[in-house]
Structure 1
Amino acid sequence: MIGVQGNREFLAEVLTLSRVHHPNLVNLVGYCAHGHQRLLVYEYMMNGSLEEHLFDLDENTAPLDWHTRMKIAKGVAKGLEYLHDVADPPVIYRDLKSSNVLLDGDMNPKLSDFGLNKFAPREGEDHMSARVMGTYGYCSPEYAMTGELTTKSDVYSFGVVFLELISGRRVIDDTRPTEEENLVIWAKPLFKDPSKFPMVADPLLNDNYPIKSLHQAVAIAAMCLQDEASTRPYMSDVVVALDYLAMVQDHDVPSEVDG
């Protein structure tokens, strides 16, 4: 049975969704609150989730090319930038993960599932506290350990999704060797040596990426995945950094890996 608190949370969610409008956020079409039923109706996204295009691909599914991956990353970053810097009041997404990034017919990404979002700290506050409700592997260290929540928590989660885009690996994958099960733990030592950056790239790319773009992408992911929240960039900085990567055209893709 849904109590008064549940009704309040549902209506608060509807109110939040009705206030935010951006090309990289899924549009709320309508909602239903009848009896014990609580339904949100979003626009249809024909290409499903990012998760479906990165992991466990069947032989008939072509992997995403480098340009599309960078385009998706930039769209996700712009959606978060809007929530943090433009939405009034600002919103912390709190549960960013590849399954919550939906793709339209042109592979443009839109953030979905705002069920866990929270308003950002008020003026004069540097963080807010919340019961940890994100997804394991995507949560920032401070949020997972203490419940301390800021927009920089979203930046960390973006870094995880971006690393998934670059590597084609799940953030947690118990089918891999023990030392590779956690994507972030596996990748962090590689961040320290640019000569090892190609090891981070998805093998399904077959080296079809500009090596300079790979280096920039890995560097951006590494900045977002800093353990200390204060050392991570803001999403507005990430959007600027991704501008170049998202503009790389297909004819630029044959890389310098072999040369």
Structure 2
Amino acid sequence: MWTFIHKWGSPKWFYSMSGKLQPWFWTVSLLLIAVGTLWGLAFAPADYQQGNSFRIIYVHVPAAFLAQSIFVSMAAAALVFMVWKIKIADMAATVMAPLGAVMTFVALFSGAVWGVPTWGTWWMWDARLTSMLILLFLFLGVIALRGAFTSRDSGSRAASVLAMVGVINIPIIKYSVDWWFTLHQPATFRVTSSPTMPAEMWLPLLIMVLGFYCFFIALTLMRTRSEILRREANKRWVMDLIKEAH
């Protein structure tokens, strides 16, 4: 088991195996997102209070879930890099940050659009919204730190520290609706209880969430492969790949 995990720390092994897995994740993600979008927008019933405006949930919730998961994954990769000095972990953390920032922005923007008919305003300094805005700043800070140093290793270490410290914001986001008075509704999915929506509404949402996660995995594999080629350009096996491609 540990031998298999250790192999993924090898840039050559990771490049080879991720190339085989990547098409599967792209296919599954596109299929799930297509099904979830069609089901959620065309066939799911309108909400009895919010009408059709609730349908933005099929973008807002998956984006918010994924943004938080990406930051946790990035922090975990940063920890692996700092403790075990595994280069692949740093490469993965590097490529995760921009997608995490985009997903956080999508969650904030879609939430603002949803807030107009629901709350009557684009923005409130709500605990959930504010902590999500902080998450966006953390992603941007990680990206900026990587480019702020002339040494790539120094930038990686600084970004890793910020990611590991910033992960404390994730439980704040999750439990903000329980800890403080907030306009934001409670979580749609809970492990300890059944969904608060009928099945014809939450099933397409679940499909969209799974589709977003598969998209994240596929994109991370693809961009990590590119990062490997960029950083390992002087290695013999990369040169051989380039020769084969030509």
Normalising by the smaller structure, the TM-score range is: 0.3 to 0.5
Report the structure number with the largest CA radius of gyration.
2
* More helix as a share of residues: 2
Which structure has more RCO (C-alpha within 8 Å, separation ≥ 6)?
Answer: 2
Using structure 1 for the length normalisation, give the TM-score: 0.35
Using structure 2 for the length normalisation, give the TM-score: 0.36
* More strand as a share of residues: 1
